[in-house]
Amino acid sequence: MSRVPLPYTQKVLDLFRNPKNLGKMEDATVTAVAGNPACGDMITFYLKINDQEIIEKASFESYGCAANIATASIVTEMVQGMSLEAAWKEMTWKKVTEEVGGLPSVKFHCGVLAVGALKRAIRKYFQNKNVSPSWVPQELSFEEKQALEEEELAKTLAKRLNVAEENQS
Amino acid sequence: MVENVKELLKAHKGIKREVYLDNENSTMVPKDVVDAMLPYYNQVAYGNPTLTHKPGWEAFETIMKSSQKISRFLGSKILEEITFTSGETEANNLALMGSAFANKSKGKKIVISEIEPINVLHVTDLLQKFGFTTTKVPVDREGFLNLEKLKEAVDEETILASIATVSNEIGTIQPVKEALDIVKDKNPETLFHTDASDAYGRIPLNVQDLKVDLATVSSYKILGPRGIGALYIKEGVNVDKILEGQIGTQKLWPGVENTPLIVGFTKASEMAFQDFEANVNRMRMLRDKLVDGIFRKLSDVKLNGPKGDKRVPDNANISFLRCEGEALTIELSLRGIYVSSGSACSRRLLQPSHVLVAIGRKFSEAHGSILAKTTRYHTEEDITYVLEVIPSAVGRIRGIVGSTGVD
Ligand code: FES
């Protein structure tokens, strides 16, 4: 329950102040969410994908901290114009973290969540089309797994919260 | 990482006004207090109060006079009942661990509330390793202790109950007297400790009337220097020391006494009590202006903690729905307004404030919570400025959230 110092980088601050590609995309090809709505720390990712499986545009909304906003924003910039395959293979939370000039270690998960949402969106795109390219393995990527884990953790916390509520007179 | 901070600070250039409202977590120290402290560093009483020379005797006299003053402010008549420690955390550690160890032959049970300060929660966790068990008594939606459950929790093996007089987060003023009577009714041997740090200098407080056995007060919470606090220990109550070292004037707290800090704490207390009513009314007026203004200007906001005279006069804790609190603290900082948040994002373990959880706030409510505390040094113009900035700051963060996480 304690706190940690959070000396965000200039880049994180810049993206926090002026996030790129912010907002709901009405004509998105695919949308994915990572994190848990009941527990905050949530991100929505919108992708516009063309017939050549190129990401034409990406946008996001974040119900998270400055690190989450900044990493989500930079992911939307990085993937623009990328093929889905390249995005899947090249986008990792480490790369994204580097791209924002590093993050305090307690904030790694915020970048993981952003990349998790992207990978979920890509996976979902193929699921919707009922195809499974060889480069999207059955097994979840690290970021997807982490996102799942965070959601599970959030659920447990939410359960504890309900118990607390029941205890009230 | 230090380089990063330089850039962060640069980003604050050109702010119109600065309003520091994070008085929960640290405070500015008024010049009068600092001025009172300075001579004690190099002009007078810089000796060790246990040694036989003039600077030592000066220090002894200074510390004893300070003890006497602080004990009076607390409503005690005996200066020996005051032990200076290096802060609220340390005083609470001494109160809980010290009384648990001193009384372990009588039992191993401790009772606290669910909304005690973090340091109390952590000490009871630690005491578990020594075989002590802790019962946490729930609170209602405004943070008031469930007295029925308190009654159930105390039995013949309960050696200590610790209930904060005022919640540091949501400002709830607990019925300490009633709680103490319930505890002592069930077990007269149970010691009663209260962390009164957020009550001291804000609401009338008298340890003798309350009949508490132990009470913690903190210097920085009343605009004194950090690193000093005191534990009131009623005469005859057994507490073991928890640190080893050279013992001097403070029988339960080893190490060389920090006379300048003790003087600063005393001066800050004097200033808080000099014009108690006026000080408190000013805090309340400013706090009410802040809270009322926010409710007038923004929708989807919730007050955490009670309204009216059961709330301590300086505390404002508000949840902005569809908004993440840590992001909001940064946005506000860039505009010169300094507050803290109970958001999970601002904690190491991604859990929202335990206090907000205990009063039944949903995660999404805790996520956008902001804590601010007014002091007599704030002006109406300060609050007007905050009210000018908050709507657009919250609006910007809500814009980033968009439709995400709205349940
Ligand atoms: S999103 Fe909650 S800590 Fe970053």
Q: State the distance from the centre of ligand 1 to the C-alpha of B113, rounded, in angstroms.
A: 28
Q: What is the pLDDT along chain B (407 residues), one digit of tens a residue?
A: 688 899 999 999 999 999 999 999 999 999 999 999 999 999 999 999 999 999 999 999 999 999 999 999 999 999 999 999 999 999 999 999 999 999 999 999 999 999 999 999 999 999 999 999 999 999 999 999 999 999 999 999 999 999 999 999 999 999 999 999 999 999 999 999 999 999 999 999 999 999 999 999 999 999 999 999 999 999 999 999 999 999 999 999 999 999 999 999 999 999 999 999 999 999 999 999 999 999 999 999 999 999 999 999 999 999 999 999 999 999 999 999 999 999 988 887 778 899 999 999 988 899 999 999 999 999 999 999 999 999 999 999 999 999 886 65
What are the angstrom distances between the C-alpha of A115 and each of A15, A31, B61?
16, 13, 64
- Residues B335 and B387: beta-carbon distance below 8 Å: no
What are the angstrom distances between the C-alpha of B145 and each of B165, B167, B211?
11, 11, 18
Q: Give the pLDDT score at A152.
A: 87
Please identify, by atom number, the ligand 1 atom nearest to the C-alpha of residue B344.
Answer: 2
User: How many whole angstroms separate alpha carbon B296 and alpha carbon B313?
Assistant: 20
- Residues A74 and A99: beta-carbon distance below 8 Å: yes
Number of domains in chain B: 2
CATH number at residue B15: 3.90.1150.10
By CB atoms closer than 10 A (0-12, 13-18, 19+), residue B105 is exposed
Least confident of A9-18, A35-44, B282-291: A35-44
For residue B324, the distance in angstroms to the closest alpha carbon of chain A comes to 6
- Residues A36 and A91: beta-carbon distance below 8 Å: no
The whole domain housing B295 covers 2-21+276-404
- Helix (H) or strand (E) holding A32, with range, is strand A30-35
Atom 2 of ligand 1, nearest CA residue: B345
Q: Is residue A122 part of a domain?
A: yes
- Residues B192 and B216: beta-carbon distance below 8 Å: no
Which among B404, B406, B407 is the top mutation candidate for probing chain A, defined by the most A β-carbons within 10 Å of its own β-carbon?
B404
CA angle B19, B276, B30 (to 5 degrees): 40
- Residues B333 and B320: beta-carbon distance below 8 Å: no
One domain for residues B238 and B352: no
CATH number at residue A18: 3.90.1010.10
Q: Is the pLDDT of residue A169 over 50?
A: no
- Which chain A residues have a beta carbon less than 8 Å from that of B5? 7
pLDDT confidence of A168, banded at 50, 70, 90? Answer: very low
Among candidate residues A157, A65, A60, A158, the one with its CA nearest the CA of residue A116: A60
Picking from B273, B292, B309, the residue at the C-terminal end of a domain is B273
Choosing from A43, A69, A75, A110, the catalytic residue is: A110
One domain for residues B252 and B338: no
Q: Is residue B27 part of a domain?
A: no
Give the number of A-B residue pairs with CB atoms closer than 8 Å. Answer: 143
Q: Give the pLDDT score at B332.
A: 98
Q: Is the pLDDT of residue A166 over 80?
A: no
Please indicate if any CB of chain B lies within 8 Å of the CB of A114: no
Beta strands, E only, B242-391? 301-303, 315-320, 337-338, 340-341, 369-373
Q: What is the pLDDT of residues A86-110, one digit of tens each?
A: 999 999 999 999 999 999 999 999 9
Task: Check residue A105 and report its DSSP letter.
Answer: G
Which among A43, A65, A105 is the top mutation candidate for probing chain B, defined by the most B β-carbons within 10 Å of its own β-carbon?
A65
Q: Ligand 1: residues within 6 Å at CB?
A: A 41, 64-65, 67-68, 107, 110; B 345
Q: State the distance from the centre of ligand 1 to the C-alpha of A147, rounded, in angstroms.
A: 12
- Residues B304 and B170: beta-carbon distance below 8 Å: yes
One domain for residues B390 and B243: no
Paired with B19 in beta bridges are B337
CB contact under 8 A, A38 and B362: yes
Paired with B134 in beta bridges are B110
One domain for residues B327 and B254: no
ipTM computed for the complex: 0.93
- Give residue B48's identity as a one-letter amino acid code: N
Respond yes or no: is residue A110 known to be catalytic.
Answer: yes
One domain for residues B129 and B156: yes
